[in-house]
Amino acid sequence: MKTAIALAIASLVTVASAQLQPGRLYQQAPAKILDTESQRLANFPVAFGDWESQAEGDSLPEGVQTELGLENYLSRIYRNRKTNQQVALLIMVGSPGRLVRHPPDICYSNRGSRTLSTDEILIEDADAGHSFRSLAYVGDDSMDQSDEFVVAYGHTADSQWDVPRFPRFTYGSESFLYKMQVLVAGGDNNEERIQTAQMFLTDCVQAFQTLRSAK
């Protein structure tokens, strides 16, 4: 699973190294707001539902953090206490423009991974419905991670996770944005991996909502 995290980080590095011009649709958040959200993320629980953190994931290089406009991020590997299934989690918070310009479908393709299928993961809770995009991949033979794996991701600037068709316009007026990305590399098939991602996201979203509602 550390290899899976490394693959996710490498994918971000590949795209972030491109010389992209800053988007003009976004405003810069006041430092106080970004600091508040950064502190919230720093307090994200190491255990929630049936999941508990097993290890820290690989670090994002400072240059990548700058290119992505990050204020903070966390990279962890969680294990389900009942099933022993593992999930790699990456949550980032920062400026909306740069985060939405680096979707996983571009990042992983640039690393040579081939898309097998795309789908939508829907999660309902008492307050809102949440939508994440899932992508099933097979890695290129030249990569360390050559087996099939599933990535799911979504964004939020409030209490609802989504992957809108035009994220630059949807989040253009927001002062900050969260991006959550999970990767599942274990399991026998992609259907099972997607189910694992959905199980994890259901608990993870609840933990995130609880964290953000805390004073």
d(CA 107, CA 112): 9
127: tokens are 């307050």
Find the angle CA(86)-CA(88)-CA(92) to the nearest 5 degrees: 155
pTM: 0.82
pLDDT digits (tens, 9 = 90+) for 96-124: 877 777 666 656 655 556 656 678 999 98
Q: Give the residue from 129, 134, 124 showing the smallest Cα distance to 194.
A: 134
Residues (pLDDT < 50) of the chain are 2, 12-26, 142-146
d(CA 134, CA 68): 21
Q: Write the single-letter amino acid at 104.
A: P
Report pLDDT for 108: 60
Residue 50 exposed, middle or buried by CB count within 10 Å (0-12, 13-18, 19+): middle
Alpha-helical (H) ranges within 76-179 are 96-100, 104-110, 167-170
pLDDT digits (tens, 9 = 90+) for 163-195: 998 888 888 888 889 999 999 987 788 899 999
Report pLDDT for 121: 94
